[in-house]
Amino acid sequence: MPTDRATLAPAVRGSGPAGRGRTHPARSASRRRVNRLGLALVAPAFAVIAVLVLYPTVSSVIGSFQRYELTDPNRGFSGLRNYIAVLSDETFQQSLLNTGGYFVVITLAVLLMGLGTALWLQSLKGVWRAIALTVIVLPWSIPGTVAGVLWSFILNPTGSGLLNSVLKSLGLIGSYQAWLNKPVAGIIVIGLTVAWSAVPLGVVVLLAGLEGIPREIYEQSLVDGAGRMKQFGSITLPLLRPALAIVLLNGAVLSIGLFDQVYVLVGLDPDKITIAGSMYLYAFRDFNFGFGFAASVVATAITAAISLVYLRLVYREEEY
Amino acid sequence: MRRRRTGFGPVWGPVRIVVGILVVVWSLAPIYWGAVIAFASVADIRRSPVALLPLSIEMGNFQRLLGPGSATQGPFLSALGSSVIQALGTTVLTLAVALPAAYAFARLRFAGSRILLTVITVTLAVPVYLVLIPLFQLATATGQINTQQGVILVLTSAALPLAIWILRSHIVTLPEDLEAAARLDGAGTFRVLGSIIGPLVAPGLVAAAVVTFLASWGAFLIPLVYANSSGTEPLTVLIPTFANKFSSDYGLQSAAGLVAVLPPVLLVVLLQKYLLSGLLKGATK
- Evaluate if residue B12 carries a pLDDT over 90: no
Question: What's the pLDDT band for B280 if we cut at 50, 70, 90?
Answer: confident
Together in a domain, B45 and B93: no
Are B129 and B213 within one domain?
A: yes
Given a cut of 60, whether residue A2 has pLDDT beyond it is no
The residue of chain B nearest to residue A31, with distances taken between CA atoms, is B110
**Same domain? B51 vs B157:** no
Residue in A51, A123, A289 closest to B5 by CB: A123
Q: Do B276 and A8 touch (CB under 8 A)?
A: no
- My answer on whether B142 and B236 are in the same domain is yes
Q: Confirm or reject contact between B180 and chain A (CB < 8 A).
A: yes
Nearest CB neighbour to B50, from listed A150, A165, A201:
A165
CATH superfamily of A85-313: MetI-like (1.10.3720.10)
Contact A12 B253 (CB under 8 A): no
CATH of the domain at B176: 1.10.3720.10
In chain B, alpha helices (H):
12-38, 42-46, 60-66, 73-107, 113-123, 128-141, 148-172, 177-184, 189-191, 198-218, 221-226, 235-245, 250-284
Least confident of A19-28, B12-21, B47-56: A19-28
Answer yes or no: do B46 and B85 share one domain.
no
**What average pLDDT does range A124-150 have in this prediction?**
92
Count of domains observed in chain B:
2
Q: Do A141 and B253 touch (CB under 8 A)?
A: no
Q: What is the DSSP letter of A288?
A: B
With beta carbons under 8 A apart, name residues in chain A contacting B184: 12
| pLDDT tens digits, B105-158 | 998 888 889 999 999 888 888 899 999 999 999 999 999 999 999 999 999 999
B258-279: per-residue pLDDT in tens? 999 999 999 999 998 888 877 7
Q: Are B140 and B226 in contact (CB under 8 A)?
A: no
Distance separating alpha carbons of residues A74 and A262, to the nearest angstrom: 35
Burial of B285 (0-12, 13-18, 19+ CB in 10 A): middle
What is the residue-averaged pLDDT of chain A?
A: 86
Closest Cα partner for B71 from B237, B229, B241, B234? B241
CA distance B69 to chain A (A): 25
State mean pLDDT over A268-279: 92
**Contact call for B104 and A37, based on CB within 8 A:** yes
Identity of the residue in A45, A146, A152 whose CB atom sits nearest the CB atom of B260: A146
Domain annotation covers residue B270: yes
- Most A CBs within 10 A among B28, B48, B129, hence the mutation to make, goes to B129
Query: What amino acid is encoded at A272 in this protein?
Result: K
Average pLDDT over every residue of A168-177: 86
* Same domain (yes/no): B92, B53: no
B115 shares its domain with B52: no
Q: Is residue B63 part of a domain?
A: no
- ipTM (interface pTM): 0.89
Mean residue pLDDT of chain B comes to 87
B209, part of any domain:
yes
Shortest CA distance from B163: residue in chain A: A45
Same domain? For B232 and B148 the reply is yes
d(CA B159, CA B219): 11
Residue type, A174: G
Look at B254 and A153 and tell me if their CB atoms are within 8 Å.
yes
**B46 pLDDT more than 80:** no
Residue B174 and residue B75 share a domain: yes
* Chain-chain contact of B50 with A45 (C-beta, under 8 angstroms): no
pLDDT (mean) for A283-311? 94
Residue B66: inside a domain, yes or no?
no
Nearest to A259 among B131, B157, B220 (CB): B220
In contact, A269 and B93? CB cutoff 8 Å = no
Query: Does B87 lie in the same domain as B38?
Result: no
Domain residues for the domain of B38 are 9-58
Nearest Cα of chain A lies from the Cα of B51 at a distance, in angstroms, of 9
Helix, strand, coil: what percent of chain A each, to 5?
A: 75, 5, 20
Domain assignment present for B101: yes
B203 CA to chain A: closest CA distance, Å? 18
What does B55-121 look like in DSSP terms, one character per residue? S---SHHHHHHHSTT-TTHHHHHHHHHHHHHHHHHHHHHHHHHHHHHHHHHHH---TTHHHHHHHHH
**A216-259 tens-digit pLDDT:** 888 888 887 777 778 888 888 888 888 999 899 999 999 999 99
Q: Does B268 touch chain A (CB under 8 A)?
A: yes
CA distances from A86 to A67, A95, A219, A298, B284 (A): 13, 11, 56, 9, 35
**Burial class of residue A159 (count of CB atoms within 10 Å of its CB; 0-12, 13-18, 19+):** middle
* Same domain? B130 vs B54: no
Q: Does B79 touch chain A (CB under 8 A)?
A: no
Residues B79 and B182 in one domain: yes
pTM of the predicted model as reported, rounded to 2 decimal places = 0.88
| Chain A contact for B245 (CB, 8 A cutoff) | no
- For position A318, what pLDDT does the model report? 59
**Is B139 within a domain?**
yes
Q: Does the beta carbon of B37 lie under 8 angstroms from any beta carbon of chain A?
A: yes
DSSP state letter for A67: E
Nearest residue, CB atoms, B37 vs list A136, A160, A165 = A160
